[in-house]
Structure 1
Amino acid sequence: MRKYKPITGGVYLVLDPSMDKPLLLQKVREALDGGASVLQIWNNWPTGYTYSDKLLLIQELVDLAAAYQVPVLVNEEWQLLKDTELAGVHFDSIPEDFESIKAAVGRDFICGITCSNNLEVVRWAEERQLDYVSFCAVFPSPSAGNCELVQPDTIREARKITQLPLFLSGGITTENIDKLQELDFNGVAVISGILNAASAQKSTAAYKDALNKYKV
């Protein structure tokens, strides 16, 4: 299997596979050049996409990220780990039988989970020593879907529960990240702020600079 840098924080880029494929690959390459530390393929596949189509895109993304030792995760669809070199999976909620999933995958893999204001999710992640927790959403955002707004106190309490890397997501820009500076977190998860930018490289680098300036 490929070697990846451990997830410790930084810019976590969520990829929208429904984008035009050549454009998506270009944006990913730019974001990696800008310093993205994690990639996640959102399960927003184009209509009519087959399993083989998914495998092909995943392989292209894994190959692209390999030169940077950046892990590529998939959203929810852990079964894809069995047929690809994906580094891991991101769950939107606590899976029903995590032990069975680990057995079915049959190899080590990175695992993270989304949390809103339910600290039981953080406790679950800590008990099973997942690789990170991502909070959604700290600001209103169209791409955050149905995520409820996370209260700052939730993030403060989460840090008392775990020392796992904490990512914040939802409506975060390089302009409003300073509003989060009193919180103890490790990185930000971004979709449109990078994918829709004129230069994904410059946008990613700007997020990195903002993180280095403001995060605790």
Structure 2
Amino acid sequence: MAQPICRLYLITPPRLDDLAAFGRTLAHALDAGDVAALQVRLKDQPDDIIAAAVDVIAPIAQARDVALIMNDRPDLAAKLGCDGVHIGQTDASYAEARRIVGKDRMVGVTCHDSRHLAMEAAEAGADYVAFGAFFPTTTKDAPARADPEILTIWQETMEVPCVAIGGITSANARGLAAAGADFLAVSAGVWSHADPGAAVRAINAEIAAGLADRG
């Protein structure tokens, strides 16, 4: 039986007013511990602002073998050379996103607390499905609250990786890793910390403990 895996999936803050400063903070955070992916999530920002952010962020992430994922916008993911796109239920359809980004980029799909939506996405070809929110979050409006049991059931029945999202910090990461998440998506739990690098280390330690609990 394959060894269970759970890794950190970072999401940018919703605004980056000082790109140079964030670049330094990002490098510090990524150097602090294992991070699988970084999602560029700049809500309601114009395309040129998003492109400028990617210009700064992409080299930092790619130098550390961290996948760069664009939120919501398959067109920008393809245009800016990102490694993939993450779409919500009200964004482009999976089929449309796949057509735009091509077969070699990742497409992840938000599925809230619905195994039905997740199975539809997985069967269509999604590279991962995301469940949440698991905890209260101020980073985005969360229409549903998910139970960790959905991760366990998914892990036992499906091969497509699942991402847990919503209010995740070092204080609650262990239970989600133990429940069966393949990735923990974190934003404020790292960037709102006084030392984002310390937050990355702490979350990775809790992930390791959760994986030990999972056996």
TM range (shorter): 0.7 to 0.9
Q: In the alignment, what sits opposite 2:153? A: 157
What amino acid sits opposite 1:15 in the alignment? T
How far off its partner does 1:210 sit? 0.7
Answering whether residue 28 of structure 2 is matched by residue 13 of structure 1, we say no
Letter in structure 2 aligned against 1:185 = A
Q: Given the superposition, is the C-alpha separation of residues 182 and 40 from structure 1 closer, same or farther in structure 2, using an over 3 Å criterion?
A: closer
Quote the residue 1:170 is aligned against: 166
Q: What is the aligned counterpart of 2:60 among 43, 58, 64?
A: 64
Q: Which amino acid aligns with 2:192?
A: N
Secondary structure class of the residue paired with 2:80: coil
Alpha-carbon separation, structure 2, partners of 1:153 and 1:175: 18
Question: Which position in structure 1 is the counterpart of 2:132?
Answer: 136
Look up the match of 2:180: 184
Q: CA offset at residue 26 of structure 1?
A: 2.2
Contact 2:112–2:145 at 8 Å: present in 1 too? yes
Conserved 8 A contact 1:43-1:76: no
State yes or no: 1:27 paired with 2:48.
no
Q: Deviations over 1:111-141 (max 9, x none)?
A: 1112222112211232133222221111112
In structure 2, the partner of 1:194 is 190
* 3-state SS of paired residue (2:206): helix
- The two structures have a TM-score, normalised by structure 1, of 0.84
Check if 1:38 corresponds to 2:34: no
Q: Any gaps of 5 or more consecutive residues in structure 1?
A: 1-7
Q: Shift in Å at residue 74 of structure 1? A: 0.8
Tell me the distance in 2 between the aligned counterparts of 1:196 and 1:121. Answer: 31
1:103 deviates by 2.8
Aligned pair in 2 of structure 1 residues 199, 117: CA closer, same or farther (>3 Å)? same
Contact 2:11–2:185 (CA under 8 A) maintained in structure 1: yes
Could you tell me how far 1:94 is from its partner in structure 2? 7.0
Question: SS of the counterpart of 2:139?
Answer: helix
Measure the CA separation in 1 of the matches of 2:94 and 2:163. 22
Give per-residue Cα distances to partners, 1:59-80, cap 9 Å, x unaligned. 2211111111111111111111
SS at match of 1:44: coil
